[in-house]
Amino acid sequence: MSMVWIISMSLLWLAVMVLTVLVLLLYRQFGLAYMSGRAKVGLQGLDLGARARPVALTTLDGSAYELDWSAATPDVTVLVFALPSCPICGDLAAGAAGLPVSWPQARFIWVDGTITGRPRRAVDGAPGWIVGTAEGDAVHQAWDISGAPFAYVVGGAGRVEAKGVVNTAADVERLLANVAGAAHRASQMIEIVPGESRAG
């Protein structure tokens, strides 16, 4: 073997090793970025099972609307948090306007972050929606909203049962379906004690 061939092979193996290291580092960076993104989404908002926070809004007709979860509530309440600076929120409102028709057992509340200069949403006036605005950032801060649009599904016990970023009406329906599916599965669970008859 000539010296030229040995040097060529050595350089080739060195190049392969360098490329392998670079590929591994690149995969690691993508993995860290992916996990970081998932962590941020998971950490946003109240924890699942947490007690729902009070809601104090001014509705479109200027009346006050308050919800402290102490009174009897529907089985499911959906709160969608929006901001005037959110470009997606208008499209979401247009798609979500008909959700109360598909989910009549749920109550739907649209929470905007400010009154002054708020662009009119397509969901305004849609049947089944309670549309209101919260002065300042008090309500958004209480619900730990750091980005919009974001939605919660609160159960009848006043506990957060689902949450997530919602860019479309389908995203809201997925949250609702998860909660409804869990409730249905729980209702189908029957404890059978050996030796006992269930006959009347």
Residues 66-77 pLDDT 10s: 888 877 666 789
In this prediction, residue 21 carries a pLDDT of 77
Compute the average pLDDT of residues 189-197.
41
Highest mean pLDDT among 134-138, 166-170, 187-191: 166-170
Q: How far apart are CA 166 and CA 151, in angstroms?
A: 6
pLDDT(197) > 60: no
* Residue 73 DSSP code: -
pLDDT(45) > 60: yes
Q: Is 7 exposed, middle or buried (0-12, 13-18, 19+ CB in 10 A)?
A: exposed
Q: How far apart are CA 78 and CA 90, in angstroms?
A: 17
Q: How far apart are CA 174 and CA 185, in angstroms?
A: 16
User: Tokens for 134?
Assistant: 């919260």
For the stretch 120-132, pLDDT in tens is 456 766 788 888 8
pLDDT(161) > 50: yes
Burial code (b: 16+ CB inside 10 Å, e: under 16) for 39-52 equals eeeeeebbeeebeb
For the stretch 21-42, pLDDT in tens is 777 666 555 544 433 343 444 5
Tell me the whole-structure pTM to 2 decimals.
0.68
